[in-house]
Amino acid sequence: MANVLFRVLNSTNLVTFSLVKHQLYKAAPIVTRLSSGIYTPEDTEPPIPVYQEKSGETTELKRARLLYQSRKRGMTENGLLLSSFASKYLDKLDEDQLVMYDRLINKPTNDWEIYYWVTGAKPTPDEYNHHVMDMLKEHTQNKDKDLRLHQPALYT
């Protein structure tokens, strides 16, 4: 039986317990209490793996991977923007541009950062300020007023 963790908050402490084979054990505290009475976890962020560039991929395989990754983002806004961008431009990008796009959508650890950069809400870091980012920003402006309520079809 797997460990079951649960936390109990009483008037003075946040206590973590572990239930192992129907035995209750008090775990070591994993939070601290601030003087304001607010409990804050010490380290709740999961570790994010460091981006590893793919090597040995054919251009066709890279395009297929990037198309998939453009569609499966974890947030609807970027899924719509990146999938429509990939549908429109991915087949036209050369190898260097594919590498730039790969780094752009995979290296940042937070999809909201990408969204803020392409919409102009935050300045784009120099590392990502290149021709492909300019294409993506122009695509995001949607000057043709294309209806983007859902991702484009994979096969036409």
Residue 150 lies inside a defined structural domain of this protein: no
- Stated as kind and residue range, the H or E segment containing 27 is none
Residue 153 lies inside a defined structural domain of this protein: no
Please write the tens of the pLDDT for every residue from 98-145: 999 999 999 998 899 999 999 999 999 999 999 999 999 999 999 989
- What pLDDT was estimated at residue 33? 52
- Tally the residues of the chain: 156
- What pLDDT was estimated at residue 50? 83
d(CA 8, CA 144): 54
In this structure, are 77 and 123 located in the same domain? Answer: yes
* CATH code at position 79: 1.10.150.250
**Predicted TM-score of the model (pTM):** 0.69
Domain count, the chain: 2
- Stated as kind and residue range, the H or E segment containing 26 is strand 23-26
- What pLDDT was estimated at residue 147? 84
Please write the tens of the pLDDT for every residue from 50-90: 888 888 999 999 999 999 999 998 899 999 999 999 999 99
